[in-house]
Chains A and B, each alone.
Chain A
Amino acid sequence: MIYEEVESSTRRTISQTTRVLGTLKLDGPLVLGLALLALYGQVVLYSASGQDWESVMRGTARIALGTVAMLVLAQVKPGFLRRISPFLYAFGIVLLLVVDAIGYIGKGAQRWLDLGFVRFQPSEIMKLAVPMMCAWYLRERALPPDGKTLLVLACIILVPTGLTIIQPDLGTGLLILMAGGLVVLLAGLSVRIILGLAGLAVLAAWGGWFLLHDYQRQRVLTFLDPQTDPLGSGYHIIQSTIAIGSGGLFGKGYLNGSQGQLEFLPERSTDFVFAVIGEELGLLGAGILLLLYLLIVARAIYLSTQMMDTFARLLSGSLAIIFFVYVFINAGMVSGILPVVGVPLPLVSYGGTSLVTLMAGFGILMSLYSHRKFAGS
């Protein structure tokens, strides 16, 4: 009797929730994954900020802002998204040019546009606008794309990438490049071209060495051998590997990581928060986090395969995979297998506008999925 009641009430709750999510054009599993991740992130942030409730509150506020962005974008019809893609892209290019110009005049690094009431990073727009533009451009073309199409795509991707890298912001520039590149890859770029591009990338890396800023070169050099500059740029990597390594299988315990709590670990609540997880929660905690990310990415990729049109498919696939790229670059950098580039750990790192961008991306993804019956009609 009682079981039946409980069962029926649970069933009722689930069916109600599904109905609410459906009305809001949200995807249940994805929302659940993101919520769990955000919760995990806030719990870790409390420790990583040195038990600072204020940081947790601000972090939560930012997640709320991201959630609003996701909710709003989930309601937008894919057709509208598709139509505004070129305008958004053009708008972003103009803003990037403005930022670069201001930076050039001010003779310094410039990434922000100060609109008075809000400071705002145009390169963040491009993280969404570039894959949207690529998907828009490919929407009615036959796939896999031909040579001429590829050339146009290369321009679409490389112009904002270049404008971002010269700000200079190598991390975001690479993310823009990948967001666009992923669209092209998913569009069925032939394996031969992929291999050719990989070869070119190696050559470019070799050539690009001479174009890098000194501090960027230094990052690569210290990445290759952190011990050469243990108190300078190698300090971050050394301290974060110590933090992770000393965490062991099960960690030193929540709030109990000496590296993080005693501030040996720099940027412990922002870019290097993954080291706090590794130290306090161990391989187990880091593994659970990675699993959570994998589930979200898996669900997002699954949703993208369910899309009914090219634009939706390519855009959602790119958004899903770029989310993993964030995770990989951040975790790889903190654990010392990738150079230090300023990429935050999605939904866990404190601060930065990238959280809003990522949530907006998921909003677009859900919009594309939940409106998919109407696509192409």
Chain B
Amino acid sequence: MAAKGRIKDQWREQRLFEQRAIFAGVVILLMTGALLARLAWLQVLRNDYYSELAQGNRVRIEPLPAARGIIYDRNGIILAENRPAYQLELVREEVPDLEATLQGLVKIGLIAAGDLDDTRRTIRSRRPFDSVPIRLRLTEEEIARFAVQRFEFPGVDIRTRLARYYPQGEVAVHALGHVGAISGKDLERIDRSAYAGTATIGKLGIESAYETQLHGRNGARQILVNARGRSVEKQGALRPQLTNVPAEPGTDLVLSIDFEVQKVAEEAIWNQRASIVAIDPRNGDVLVLASRPGFDPNLFARGLTRAEFAGLNGNPDQPLFNRALRGTYPPGSTIKPLVALAGLSYGVTTPEESRFCGGYFSLPGSRHRFRDWKPRGHGTTAMVEAIAQSCDVYFYALANEIGVTRLGTFLKGFGLGAITGIDIDGEKPGLVPSPEWKRGAFKRKQNQVWFPGETVIFGIGQGFMLTTPLQLAHMTSIIGARGSNFRPRLVTALHDPVTNTRRVLAPVAEPKVESATPEHWQVAINGMLAVTEGGTASRSAAGAGYRIAGKTGTSQVFTVAQNAKYDEKAIDERLRDHAWFVAFAPAEDPRIAVAVLVENGRSGSGTAAPIARKVMDAYLLRKFPEPAEPDTQTDAAEAEE
């Protein structure tokens, strides 16, 4: 019975089990269907979406920095170029502990502790996975030091990049400017994506003003990366289709600067606080733009430490200060030819009308004596002789007759009191004073009144008037060109290295000075010729072989009391007068107009005029002095390689 019952049980159980098995089979089929539905949803319906995500995962865009445009002088000498340099780069996402990494780099001397804040800021401000340059221009020794400890610094690597190099060193730095690490302020004005991969940006001078042209357009390369962000050539059989957008190099610039003349000019003032600007009066080309002391722009291009910068910035001689553009000085007697021209133009005087110089000038009804530089006076002088001997009394009287407003208006016609519009930034406008200006410039009522005596000293370029060396060179070029006025410029042509085409920029003509007649111009120029031919600067002009029209000047730093005598030995060197000399040559058809300023140089004729002569000899005669400065000599040798 029991056996029978078990068999019956078995049969029933078998059927029950089969039912359950079939049911399980159905459930299994349903679940597999659900899985397949899910897969179809992901792989068919949402395939595009996920493909894009996968693509975004594996492809990283690596910027290809464009080669910065090369800067040439007017004769094709290279002033700024690019050389391969090793730099330390960091990818934030690959660095496990940024702070420890930076401290480690400080410890092995690759980053200065003082620069850490800047470095952190640079790293923060870049896009994800960008390789950020944290140290430029590594030396061989530094590369070796890093190589030994590289394993301690994941995410940091040495890369070769083109870096800016200035083969001429300090020469022409104030015209060229320099490139430097991109600062937080720079980032605000540039398109960050356009600068991905670029380490430096133009900071001053040409490098800054022509940043857009010089920078070019960075390209980009798609690279395959693995999950850790590391670039891989290929992984397994994975051969991706990656696109490359090549970089477009920046535009090369041709400057109006004549480097050889620039070098002569700078060497002539190498160890002084001085500035020289030379302009071609026929088109406004700036042939020389010198300001000393200078600095080596390569320091900035390779990355200046904070200490180095502090050293430059704290130097009392202010090497970073561009005197040519930003130094404002009273023009002194250099404006006397203009005052004479103004007198003629307004019909106040004639060339022949002479004035008596007894060593001082007094306004009617005043006992204040405006002294002449020559205590005994020049006797009776007419216009040409007054310019030649720089007779102060003549111009005191003439200025008084013209009047301050008319004189000021006339001077402004020569670009004084306003920026010249040269194609680099930072220019100071200087100042041509007027009663209106004085009312606005002073707080206290008694200072707002224009005194007649101020008109008197205005006639010899003293008092409130301020000019830059660039402005005086520009002014001199207008006199030389007899009224033709071209805006000073440094860049004369743009050269596209890809198409090898050159775009020559036309000179920019400014309104001509129309008020003076050809006869007036000739009188003023004759006066300036007389300066170098028997006048104050005759010694400096002797034996030139071409005629120089010039004018000396000194601008007072220190006012001598009414009854005291100016004794230069008694006063501090830095309180001595600044020396000016402006000139153009050849006088008949000038090709160069020069302004030389030597701070505390005392005498225009003794200090400034010989320097101007050297510059003009170099430019007009291609006559170069024997090399004297060992520093610049090595630079030149490098440039010739």
Contacts and interface: CB of A to CB of B under 8 A. Distances in A.
Bound pair: A and B?
yes
B44 A243 contact: no
B236 to A, nearest CB: 5
B53 interface: yes
B38 A337 contact: yes
B35 interface: yes
A335 B39 contact: yes
Interface in B553-605: none
Main secondary structure of the interface of A (DSSP, over half): helix
Interface in B178-229: 224-228
B312 interface: no
A313 B14 CA distance: 8
Interface string A40-52: 0000000100110
Contacts of B238: 255-258, 261-262
B54 interface: yes
Nearest to B44: A249
A336 B24 contact: no
Contact of B43 (A258, A278, A304, A317): A278
Interface string A167-195: 00000000000000010011010000000
A297 B20 contact: no
A264 B28 contact: no
B49 A245 contact: yes
Q: How large is the interface on B (under 10, 10 to 19, 20 to 34, 35 or more residues)?
A: 35 or more
A374 B224 CA distance: 63
A287 B225 CA distance: 30
A261 B54 CA distance: 12
B230 to A, nearest CB: 9
B35 A331 contact: yes
A324 B25 CA distance: 10
Contacts of A185: 20, 24
A188 B20 contact: yes
A297 B58 CA distance: 38
B18 interface: yes
Contacts of A15: none
B375 interface: no
A248 interface: yes
B57 A259 contact: yes
Given A51-B236, A261-B235, A262-B57, A246 B50 contact: yes
B233 to A, nearest CB: 12
A57 interface: no
A255 B227 contact: no
B31 interface: yes
A310 interface: yes
B567 to A, nearest CB: 79
A298 B28 CA distance: 9
A343 to B, nearest CB: 14
Interface string A247-289: 1110001111111011110000000000000110011001100
Nearest to A337: B38
A283 B39 contact: yes
A328 interface: yes
B237 A256 contact: yes
A297 B17 contact: no
A287 B47 contact: no
A180 to B, nearest CB: 15
Given A248-B43, A337-B38, A321 B54 contact: no
Given A186-B20, A242-B57, A305-B18, 11 more contacts: A185-B24, A186-B21, A244-B43, A245-B50, A249-B43, A258-B55, A258-B238, A283-B40, A283-B44, A305-B21, A328-B31
4 interchain residue pairs of minimum CB distance: A245-B50, A255-B237, A246-B54, A245-B42
29 contacts: A47-B236, A186-B17, A186-B20, A186-B21, A188-B20, A239-B57, A245-B43, A245-B53, A246-B50, A246-B55, A248-B44, A248-B47, A248-B51, A249-B44, A255-B237, A258-B58, A259-B57, A261-B235, A261-B236, A261-B237, A261-B238, A294-B28, A304-B21, A305-B14, A305-B18, A321-B24, A321-B28, A336-B38, A337-B38
